[in-house]
Amino acid sequence: MLAVKRTRRLDPDPAFTAAFRELAPRLPGSANEPLARIREEGFARFLALGIPTQRDEAWKFTNVARIANRPMRPATATELPLDRVLPYLLGGPRARRLVFVDGRLQPQWSHTGGLPQGVIVESLARAAETRPLALAEALGELDDGRSFTALNTAFADGGAWIELPAGLALEAPLQLLFVTTGGEVPVMSHPRCVLRLGDGASLTLLETHVGLGEGAALTNAVLQLALRPGARLEHDRIQLPAAQGSLLAKIDGSLGAGARYRQTTVLLGGALVRNEHELRIDGPGVDCLLSGVAVPGTGEQSDIVVRIHHRAGGSHSDQYFKHVVEDRGHAAFAGKIVVHPGAQKTNAYQKNDNLLLSDDGEVDTKPELEIYADDVKCSHGATCGELDAGALFYLRSRGIARQAARAILVHAFAAEVIGRLADPTARALAETRLVARLGGGLDGALVETVLGEAA
Amino acid sequence: MATAFDTVKDYTEAEYKYGFVTPVEEDRFPPGLNEEVVRRLSAKKEEPAWLTEWRLAALRRFLSMEVPDWQKVRFAPIDFQAISYYAAPRQKERPKSLDEIDPEIRRTYDKLGIPIREQEILAGVAVDYVFDSVSVATTFKRKLEQLGVIFCSMSEAVREHPELVRKYLGSVVPPGDNFFAALNSAVFSDGSFVYVPKGVRCPMELSTYFRINAAGTGQFERTLIIADEGSYVSYLEGCTAPMRDENQLHAAVVELVALDDAEIKYSTVQNWYPGDKEGRGGIYNFVTKRGACRGKRSKISWTQVETGSAITWKYPSCILQGDDSVGEFYSVAVTNHRQQADTGTKMIHIGKRTRSRIVSKGISAGRSDNTYRGLVRILKSAEGARNHTQCDSMLIGDRCGAHTVPYIEVQNKTARCEHEATTSKISEDQLFYCRQRGISEEDAVALIVNGFCREVMNELPMEFAVEARKLLGISLEGSVG
Amino acid sequence: MLTIENLQVSVEGKPILKGLSLTVEAGRVHAIMGPNGSGKSTLAHVLAGREGYEVTGGNVRFGDEDLLALEPEERAHAGLFLAMQYPVEIPGVANMYFLRQAINAICKARGQDEIPAAEFMRKVREQARLLGIGEELLKRDLNAGFSGGEKKRNEILQMALLEPRLCILDETDSGLDIDALRTVADGVNRLRSPERAFLVITHYQRLLDYIVPDVVHIMADGRIQRTGGPELARELEERGYEGLLGTKLAA
């Protein structure tokens, strides 16, 4: 009997304990008792929760143990030349940013000066000094029963504390750039971000994950969002992990009445990338739009998990995720809308469209509804298919080579999501990478046109 | 003035009209489940040794398994040792003609509105009557025999057609398939058996009427339908049970096999006792139904109207093995009061150009929970496979839940899957419009719900559709106040 | 036939009808005209028994019954019919089937036998032909995907078949082109009889060129402001609500 239950989780590799014992004294805020205790508790929780297996319903489509349950080290300090990082600096000249390489803040590329009074943008390490109690509280309050969140709490190294006071709209975008280099042995980093927007505050956040090394690397990121009533957050995420790089990113957020949260994620590359969202809508008039596109190929898996809780009525949420699966790629989507009792007049939508372009790829999708109120409008849809043969033929009959025709159609499919990125430089980066990914079939003129539009 | 949905009163008017108990003498085992019980059961039924062993192997599997917990239903642990695994109306031997049936049992079926003799003469439907897991009568036998169609109780099939039973029993739902299938394989008492030979189009609907009567028992029937090459059969299943405060377990297994160019249409109107409005009593309906489209161009179509049971846990499925085979699932599930339904289907596409269609309509009222759970899996071999799923929920009142849990897993690029789902309620505008035209509120609800379910109702054979329509209305009586 | 005395109605605490009085006699066609927000549609809905309206004063008698005490279906049984401005769509319920249900419900309530299927079909087809409603529309789901004109013609078809004593037409002309307007008006005119009364609610005078009323009421601010013959509608057409009633009432 026990045997069945046990296979839902694996005991973590002993290397985690060794690493924690060794690192704990050097992690940000280790000297501070409450923070150190929160980390200890996080680690104990991680050990108790273990590494989920595919028998765990939440991980049904994804074998995470293969990338997460092995000996890993924090990366050693790596010196990177500016030109390697430059392409990923987004947001234009006015942008403020924090740049991390393997979990360490890079002050030479970071820029947070001249922010309006009351705005806080500081690295996690700095926050551990300036506000250890608040940080301990924030780390401690997120207990989502997820082992990687607990692991992040234990090891949190990079990351940031961001706060906007009520009524403040930050014009310039804020970028958080996380670069992972990888090494001889698999390396891990655990960025933890806390973002709080006061009543009516507004921000454009550019979150970028980039892998630049050959070696295996795991980035285990957690972002805690709190939007007060009327706050607005535009959240563009570009994820470009290296071939051996994996990314587990969890966003936990609560949205107050009238808040607007708009997130667009573009993922290209990575061995295993799992984007998890758990969002709570706590008042009426909330507008929550999540979009994403990923193009997993051989050796790549994109796994998207969304849970939106409508805990108050009169709000709107929309999920719009697309996957293009090439070669031996694997795409998974598990989206869930929960309409809690009493959350009347909820409008919630969910759509997952998939293009499966190869005989060796796999698409799994589970668009789920859980509804406890009757006066709601909820719908979801999912599709899976290959490129439309008619459209392909049409393009070829106009003289476009097969490969190019295919690339144009795939591009069109993905571009719909890329177009939702709020920041033009983020759009341009996503476009360039997508076009490069789709191969030589796309001609320069098309790229120019597209980039022209994006800029 | 209060709005129509201000109060969703619990209904007291709508009584479960099949809730009576028939006083018949019965032959039953004391409660308990072990190898000895299984051996006794098998001996009682004079089964061949291979079947006894088959049951025992299933029992061993069962004892090593856990009650599944992934479904969205909640119930107190079931004490499988407190159930009596054999209860049968005592009669000297199976009646040779319909006149020999125990008059009490005849009266039961009369009360249920399906008099055994009239049914045969008037409706032209061949019926197998199963009373507490034991087949008590099969009508129209001779006529079917002339065509070579075998329609009899499972016990009789084991005696008369052992080669067919041995070949197909457990071939679609293996004994260790799941917890309840394992239990059924160990202790099944009876059920219906159908074999339609090559090229025969069965000229009448075949029907089984299931009735749980005895207290402290479960019902574990097993149905096996084989449609040989180029044949066709339409099979209907109806079920009712007495009102009792205790929960009774119904753990059936239905296996369908369709060979080349064969078609099986399987329709169910399930109206087991749902428990009272506080959720006391009612049937736990844990059923495994699966059809294998083994042959090329074969087709299996499931249609179900589920209004009864305290808990429904049921996923009639199709394994689409033969090239160009077709699977269909049409379902209406109504839950009211404290009922819980977790039902849906699995469509496993293996053969080339296999097609499946799923239409599910869930209606929740009262404090009930209604979940659609479905799997569409397209394997690598299923070139050109197609699936379309439409899954709609309707909520009546704000204390019930409607859930949709579809899984779509695709491994072939030429496959095309589409899934759509919506959630709606009966609008006040719709109700007012009907009432303005003179239609009472209750009738308006029934009318709108029937409209919502029409795609599924259209799939039911005529005589069943009329019954099902009425049943929908009755099940929701008093849900809008 | 219909006597409304000092009717006061609020919606969510806001007074809409503020002491409206009106008497409609059998065989007569009354038109009620008024600017947007004057309470015309509220009056139609309250008479038909729609929920969400709070009657705070006054009374309504229909024949010898207290209309406000009746459930919506009882009002229908008593012979009140409301042709709606926005007829509701009911998916999965065929138009013809719905008609049959409604007719049978009314027959039953009046203690009559249900109308035999053959006779029902004959009657439906005859009325449908007069209104230019094709067989296909009768088989389709009730109002689902119907054009504006089809919906309104379908309302008149139901009205013809249910044979009410009092027909209330709520903005039946809205969204109709001139041909559809003519068809609908012809349908209404065919139903005029000494036993039957009409309450035609409209914003524009246009409909009244085709359905010529006996009495015209101008409604504003929740009350009947003026009453006259058909010439009142034409006067309104020339001068507008503002000219006729003074600016403050033309909301």
Residues in chain B: 481
pLDDT at B189: 83
* B375: closest CA of chain A, how far (Å): 9
Please state the rounded mean pLDDT for residues C237-247.
Answer: 80
> Whole-angstrom Cα distance, residue C200 to residue C81?
12
Please state the rounded mean pLDDT for residues A236-255.
Answer: 96
Residue C60: name the closest of C14, C9, C103 by CA. Answer: C9
For B330, phi and psi rounded to 5 degrees?
-120, 125
Q: Is the pLDDT of residue B95 over 60?
A: no
DSSP element (H, E) containing B53: helix B49-63
Helix (H), strand (E) counts: chain B:
12, 23
pLDDT at B99: 63
Q: Is A127 helix (H, G, I), strand (E, B) or coil?
A: helix
> Whole-angstrom Cα distance, residue C169 to residue C37?
17
Across all residues in chain A, what is the average pLDDT?
91
Residue among A356, A370, A380 minimizing CB distance to B421: A380
- Token pair recorded at residue C57: 């004063």
Burial of A390 (0-12, 13-18, 19+ CB in 10 A): exposed
Give the residue on C whose Cα is nearest the Cα of B452. Answer: C92
More confident residue, B270 or A150: A150
Q: Is the pLDDT of residue A450 over 60?
A: no
- CA torsion angle B242 B248 B249 B252 (round to 10): -10
DSSP element (H, E) containing C238: helix C230-245
Q: Is the pLDDT of residue C69 over 60?
A: yes
* B453: closest CA of chain A, how far (Å): 18
pLDDT at B269: 85
Q: Is the pLDDT of residue B383 over 50?
A: yes
More confident residue, C147 or B143: C147
Cβ proximity of B387 and B476 under 8 Å: no
Local confidence band at B16 (pLDDT 50, 70, 90 cut-offs): low
Its ipTM equals 0.86
Please state the rounded mean pLDDT for residues A210-217.
Answer: 90
pLDDT (tens digit per residue) in A23-63: 999 999 888 899 999 999 999 999 999 999 998 989 999 99
Give the residue on B whose Cα is nearest the Cα of C158. Answer: B437
Q: Which of A310, A369, A375, A376 to mutate to test the interface with B (most CBs of B within 10 A)?
A: A369
Local confidence band at B126 (pLDDT 50, 70, 90 cut-offs): low
pLDDT at B12: 26
Q: Is the pLDDT of residue C193 over 90?
A: yes
For B143, phi and psi rounded to 5 degrees?
-55, -40
pLDDT (tens digit per residue) in B24-41: 667 778 888 999 999 999
Residue with tokens 């209904």: B11
Say how many C-beta atoms besides its own lie within 10 A of residue C55's C-beta: 15
Q: Which chains reach chain A with 3 or more Cβ–Cβ distances below 8 angstroms?
A: B
Q: Is the pLDDT of residue A187 over 70?
A: yes
pLDDT at A228: 98
pLDDT (tens digit per residue) in B332-378: 999 988 889 999 999 999 999 999 999 999 999 888 999 999 999 99
pLDDT at A282: 97
Cβ proximity of C31 and C234 under 8 Å: no
Give every CB contact of residue B158 below 8 A, 6+ residues apart in sequence. B45, B47, B48, B51, B165
Interface contact flag, B439 C101, Cβ < 8 Å: yes
In this prediction, what percent of chain B has a pLDDT beyond 70? Answer: 80
User: Which chain C residues touch B454 with a CB distance below 8 Å?
Assistant: 92-93
Interface contact flag, B4 C81, Cβ < 8 Å: no
Out of A104-113, A351-360, B37-46, B203-212, which region has the weakest mean confidence (pLDDT)? B203-212
- Token pair recorded at residue B450: 């029937």
> Whole-angstrom Cα distance, residue A254 to residue A259?
10
Chain A interface includes B96 (CB < 8 A): no
Give the residue on B whose Cα is nearest the Cα of C142. Answer: B451
Cβ proximity of B374 and B344 under 8 Å: yes
Residue among A358, A374, A385 minimizing CB distance to B397: A374
Cβ proximity of A50 and A38 under 8 Å: no
- CA torsion angle A5 A9 A14 A15 (round to 10): 180
Burial of C179 (0-12, 13-18, 19+ CB in 10 A): exposed
Interface residues of A toward B, Cβ cutoff 8 Å, are 1, 4, 57, 341-342, 344, 354, 356-359, 361-386
Residue among B403, B406, B411 minimizing CB distance to A370: B403
Please work out, in degrees rounded to the nearest 5, the angle formed at the alpha carbon of residue B299 by the alpha carbons of B135 and B380. Answer: 120
Burial of A381 (0-12, 13-18, 19+ CB in 10 A): middle
Across all residues in chain B, what is the average pLDDT?
84
Local confidence band at C129 (pLDDT 50, 70, 90 cut-offs): very high
Interface contact flag, C54 B1, Cβ < 8 Å: yes
Please state the rounded mean pLDDT for residues C84-96.
Answer: 88
Interface contact flag, A382 B406, Cβ < 8 Å: yes
pLDDT (tens digit per residue) in B391-421: 999 998 888 999 999 999 999 999 999 999 9
Cβ proximity of A405 and A439 under 8 Å: no
User: Which chain B residues touch C52 with a CB distance below 8 Å?
Assistant: 1, 3, 428
A276-289 in b/e burial notation, b at 16+ Cβ within 10 A?
Answer: bbbbbbbbbbbbbb
| Among B residues 65-84, those touching chain A with beta carbons less than 8 Å apart | 66, 70
pLDDT (tens digit per residue) in B177-219: 999 999 999 999 888 899 999 999 998 888 887 766 666 677 8
Q: Which of B359, B427, B436, B453 to mutate to test the interface with C (most CBs of C within 10 A)?
A: B436
Local confidence band at C180 (pLDDT 50, 70, 90 cut-offs): confident
Cβ proximity of A256 and A227 under 8 Å: yes
More confident residue, C167 or B468: C167
Select, from the ranges A99-103, A296-300, B224-228, C124-128, the one with the highest average predicted confidence (pLDDT): B224-228
In this prediction, what percent of chain A has a pLDDT beyond 70? Answer: 95
pLDDT (tens digit per residue) in A295-321: 999 999 999 999 999 999 999 999 999
pLDDT at B118: 45
Cβ proximity of A393 and B432 under 8 Å: no
Across all residues in chain C, what is the average pLDDT?
90
Residues in chain A: 455
